[in-house]
Amino acid sequence: MLSPVAITGIGLASSHGEGRAAHAALLGGVAPVLDATSFAPYPIHPLAALPFDKAIPRREMRQMENWQRLGVYAAGLAIDDAGLRERVAEMDLIVAAGGGERDWKLDEQILAAQPDEIQRHRMLLDGLRPTLFLAQLSNLLAGSISIVHNVAGSSRTLLGEEICGAEALRIAAARIATGTSPLCLVGGAFVAERPEVLLLFALGDVLHRGPWVPLPERQGIVFGSAGAFLTLEAAQAARAPLAILRHVGTDQGRPETRPARLAALLAATPERQPGCMVISTASGAAQATADELAALGVTPDLFSADILGHLVEPTFPAGVALAALAIAQGRAKQVLVTGTGQWRGEAVALLEAP
Amino acid sequence: MNPRIAVTGIGMVTALGFGAEANWAALVAGRSGIARITRFDTTGMRATMAGCVDLPGDEPGFPLSVSVRCERLGEAAIAEALAQAGLTAPFDGPLCIGMPPVEVEWPQRRSFGATTYPGLLEAATGQAALYEEFLFGGASTRLAERFGTRGVPQTVTTACASGASAIQLALEAIRRGETKMAIAAGSEASLQPETLIRFGLLQALSTRNDTPQTASRPFALSRDGFVMADGAGALILEDEAHARARGANILGYVLGAGEAADTFHRTRSAPDGSAIIRCMQRAMDDAGLAASEIGYVNAHGTSTPENDKMEAMAIRALFGDAPPPPVSSTKSMIGHTLSAAGAIEAAICLLALRNQMLPPTINQEDVDPDLGVDTVPVARPHAFRAALSNSFGFGGQNVAVVLGAA
């Protein structure tokens, strides 16, 4: 027997600041916060100045870099938003993650020195900070959330760019719906101000270069820094649900057959009522974005990438958080969220008013 | 009522060899797969040995990347498991696989000749093959497409518990009725210079470099750290009724799994062992077994001073006044295959159940008497119906899996 799944808390921290009010104000469309110079010719939506030190003990801060700090911070916002501080011991956690920061200054010293293999290893042996490894490991965002917020249920971290964020949400919702998890915290974080991250995506030639323009007018990704977490609970147990997560569907396969998978995912989504709001979490990568828009057949009301920037792993959870806000605000009774990974993976979610 | 989850295929690659049978023979013989690292220069490194699975394509100064090695090892293990299960691609279920994080490595990073990141970004733009190689979802996606698995590959990382987490994700998907079968696997190849240096800086590795075969010595007084290793393990999990209906040979069962996050510290268990005890207890509860029904524990047993002491204490606490069953760590022979260990060790438990034989913990000349567990210094016959496999990850992510005899 499946129980309806409620979204009971959201934790959003982005270039626009933190929390429900700061992000609800963006839903009607807003000018992006941009940094066009630090990584020119690649514009980014920068990390806002957030009071990490108020939420994270100093001893823990030293074990992290900004990726983990931002994720831990956003996870805390979601826990507080849902009023679930007292229940963290039984809370399950699924994080969608890439990796943490490299010491890019050390990388540049090594690149500049052009050392041979033995000398390169020597520079790494002398230059790497021991704590940085723990800041870098993908599963240590979840580990840090458990340590800082005492989240002590299960802990899993999924890898795999955009689609792992949607798959994390699908698994969390399925566990709640089948009663195998009492409450679940799901989401992730992404920091755009990282040359080594830009390198990976430059290899794929998927980055937008030059002045920022809205997503439909460009053929590339503009990254943003943001953390996005949601708390899910069985609807009948939820004290103050923001929205009902009626449906999450995901799929993956070869890019040539992406349109058919997107069509099938949309066909399997419960019926959309008139006035259903549409939020697209498309990355901006040319073919994947074009396929998503063609499958939708309508112009989305909002592209999450235009207000937050593209967030890779937490992109889909962030889109769903914006959808929950739209419902909580009374802006829509029903919201369809779509997402297509820049390389692989497709996802849809349907949210409804409680 | 949950369906029983049958195992119909097992595959394994470690430093002991390719294939489950080759591995089992080496394990029972008490052979070590640990050796000096030859595929890159280890001058100045704290640890210079590992459980290496070198492959065709490892060039001097340009070894295969973590991502490519993970893919190849995973492919070998999954192909073996599928063949044993009598299945071929496309596989009608998901791929759940524990894998390490990957990133662009030094041989690739320096291949463009750039001296700064902006220069590197410029020079590297459009190298699509490298992009696909180093995406976090790249290797698992190629495996999913190679074997024609269904849906999104669930690529899970819980550090040293990843392989066990993959089994758990697969088990849950079958129990939820999303699928009748799933591939549960782990593949690990983090052994590249920078990772070896990083683990060395954490002082987590054995430095017994002069005698590599004696370096991994779980539960011994002279244990001094773990030994990194390459490897992969794969299980075909199947709803028992589905397996029977298609006439598959049932090799054993995954009876249950449990997990518990530790909120104490990134690299250490809570001093009272509470999280790892809770994790083992949850696995037994999930399997519906009492402690007295567990006939063998395949320990996480990394050979670090901290883990083995805590784990032995937790196992004793779990079994209360009764003496705990025999406990061995096959990492003594294979090394620590990190993301793959949970899958490889679950496979070993199934082979042990099938053969009614316990694989040993080797290098037990000076077993730590305070630990109070029988660490099985030499392989021996043993009558038992269920085994517990422990996997405890950096970051406090602990998973235990209960395996049952066919």
- The string of pLDDT tens digits covering residues B182-210 is 999 999 999 999 999 999 999 999 999 99
CA distance A121 to chain B (A): 7
Q: What is the mean pLDDT of residues B399-405?
A: 98
Contact across the interface for B176 and A153, Cβ inside 8 Å:
no
Instruction: Indicate if B382 belongs to the active site.
Output: no
pLDDT tens, position by position, B111-158: 999 999 999 999 999 999 999 999 999 999 999 999 999 999 999 999
Q: Is A114 on the interface with B (CB under 8 A)?
A: yes
CA distance A246 to chain B (A): 17
Confidence band of B232 (pLDDT split at 50, 70, 90): very high
Q: Looking at chain A, which residue has its C-alpha nearest residue B154?
A: A158
A46, burial (CB in 10 Å: exposed 0-12, middle 13-18, buried 19+):
buried
Q: Is A156 on the interface with B (CB under 8 A)?
A: yes
- Counted across chains A and B, CB pairs separated by less than 8 A come out at 251
* Residue B60: per-residue pLDDT: 84
* Residue B270: per-residue pLDDT: 80
pLDDT tens, position by position, B77-118: 999 999 999 999 999 999 999 999 999 999 999 999 999 999
Residues 285-324 of A with CB under 8 A from B: none
Which residue in B45, B108, B262, B266 has the most chain A C-beta atoms within 10 A of its own C-beta, making it the best mutation to test that interface? Answer: B266
Choose among A133, A139, A171: nearest Cβ to B157. A139
Name every chain A residue with its beta carbon within 8 A of the beta carbon of B264.
147
**Taking 80 as the threshold, does the pLDDT of residue B341 lie above it?**
yes
Contact across the interface for A138 and B101, Cβ inside 8 Å:
yes
**Angstrom distance (rounded) from CA B291 to CA A184:** 29
Contact across the interface for B198 and A128, Cβ inside 8 Å:
yes
Choose among B103, B200, B261: nearest Cβ to A99. B103
Residues 178-217 of A with CB under 8 A from B: 178, 180, 195-196, 198-206
Choose among A114, A161, A166: nearest Cβ to B136. A161
What's the pTM value of the predicted model, to 2 decimals?
0.98
CA distance A95 to chain B (A): 10
Confidence band of B1 (pLDDT split at 50, 70, 90): low
Q: What residue segments make up the domains of chain B, in order of their start?
A: 5-101+136-405
Contact across the interface for A203 and B198, Cβ inside 8 Å:
no
CA distance B310 to chain A (A): 19
Name every chain A residue with its beta carbon within 8 A of the beta carbon of B260.
152-154
Q: How many residues does chain A have?
A: 354
Instruction: Indicate if B160 belongs to the active site.
Output: yes
* Residue A1: per-residue pLDDT: 58
Tell me the sheet residues that pair with A244. A6, A352
Q: Looking at chain B, which residue has its C-alpha nearest residue A98?
A: B136
* Residue B396: per-residue pLDDT: 85
Q: How many residues does chain B have?
A: 406
CA distance A274 to chain B (A): 30
Please give the helix or strand (H or E) that residue A231 lies within, else none: strand A226-234
Q: What is the ipTM of this complex?
A: 0.97
* Residue A266: per-residue pLDDT: 98
* Residue A76: per-residue pLDDT: 98
Contact across the interface for B117 and A112, Cβ inside 8 Å:
no
Contact across the interface for A108 and B117, Cβ inside 8 Å:
yes
Say if CB A171 and CB B169 are below 8 A apart.
Answer: yes
Instruction: Indicate if B336 belongs to the active site.
Output: yes
Say if CB A238 and CB A12 are below 8 A apart.
Answer: no
pLDDT tens, position by position, B286-338: 999 999 999 999 999 999 999 999 999 999 999 999 999 999 999 999 999 99
Half-sphere exposure of B73 (CA within 13 A, CB side): 36
CATH of B5-101+136-405, one of 3.40.109.10, 3.40.50.2300, 2.40.160.40, 3.40.47.10: 3.40.47.10
pLDDT tens, position by position, B358-385: 999 999 999 999 999 999 999 999 999 9
**Taking 90 as the threshold, does the pLDDT of residue B350 lie above it?**
yes
Q: Which residues of chain A have pLDDT under 50?
A: none
Report residue B66: phi and psi, to 5°: -55, -45
Tell me the sheet residues that pair with B232. B13, B187
Domain at A5-100+137-352: CATH code = 3.40.47.10
User: What proportion of chain B, given as a percentage, has pLDDT over 70?
Assistant: 100
Choose among B44, B127, B140: nearest Cβ to A160. B140
In chain A, alpha helices (H)? 19-24, 52-55, 58-61, 66-82, 104-113, 117-127, 130-136, 140-149, 161-177, 195-203, 258-267, 286-296, 304-308, 315-328
